[in-house]
């Protein structure tokens, strides 16, 4: 079993709460209130900015050219691709770039992103990749599951489902899991497992809190 699968198994309750959160289930069913989805879009844009910082930190924390290139690719994917896609998706929901830029980070956004950055600053590359993985790999799992439900063309959130469920993002998620496992083979030890499990479970809980904030704030 890969390190990611072991961490997910150890945090099974937290993982289910995250990947099957009411926000996700309502999004998949097309019943999510539009106001909740707009709140999510705004906060996810701000989240991506901090996520880019975390991948820049991963570049600094890397000890090999391979790891540096992997971090650089993840950073470029956010800055050069994903943020632009996010702006275009937000525009379809009546949110301008100015709306996104001038918004304040919600407490759930701050809690999650600063936890990730603090883990990266205080720990090593493995710990940083562990706390990044629930987002990157989890979105792939959620997207694939919702896409398998075959959302109709008129599904209000079909664009989001196809974005994360289709092959391009599935490749990103698979690559992130593979990078984590390859790194773990080099630097992980059995003594580190309890701390890695704790960090992974915390990041996963914060992901669920991020959904909840969009649903109820």
Q: Distance from CA of residue 147 to its chain's centroid?
A: 17
Question: What does the DSSP assignment read for 25-65?
Answer: HHHHHT-S-HHHHHHHHHHHHHHHHHHHHHHHHHHHH--SH
CA 139 from chain centre, in angstroms, equals 6
Q: What is the DSSP letter of 217?
A: -
Catalytic site includes residue 135: yes
CA torsion angle for 210, 95, 138, 188 (degrees, to 10)? -80
Known catalytic residue at 207 = yes
Q: Which two tokens stand for residue 60?
A: 């600094």
Point out the catalytic residue in the list 14, 119, 135, 179.
135
Active site residues: 135, 207
């Amino acid at each position: 079993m890969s390190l990611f699968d072991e961490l997910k198994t150890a945090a099974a309750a937290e993982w289910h709460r995250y990947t099957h959160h009411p926000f996700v289930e309502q999004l998949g069913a097309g019943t999510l209130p539009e106001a909740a989805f707009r709140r999510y879009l705004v906060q996810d844009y701000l989240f991506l900015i901090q996520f880019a910082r975390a991948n820049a930190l991963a570049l600094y924390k890397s000890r090999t050219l391979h790891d540096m290139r992997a971090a650089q690719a993840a950073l470029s994917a956010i800055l050069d691709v994903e943020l632009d896609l996010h702006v275009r998706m937000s525009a379809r929901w009546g949110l301008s770039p100015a709306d996104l830029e001038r918004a304040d980070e919600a407490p759930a956004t701050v809690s999650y992103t600063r936890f990730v950055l603090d883990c990266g600053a205080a720990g090593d590359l493995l710990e940083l990749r562990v706390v990044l993985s629930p987002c990157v790999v989890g979105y792939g799992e959620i997207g694939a599951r919702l896409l398998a439900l075959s959302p109709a063309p008129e599904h209000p959130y079909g664009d989001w489902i196809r974005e994360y469920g289709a092959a391009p993002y599935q490749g990103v998620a698979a690559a992130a899991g593979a990078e984590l496992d390859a790194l773990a083979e080099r630097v992980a030890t059995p003594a580190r497992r309890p701390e890695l499990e704790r960090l992974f479970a915390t990041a996963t809980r914060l992901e669920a809190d991020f959904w909840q904030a969009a649903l109820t704030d």
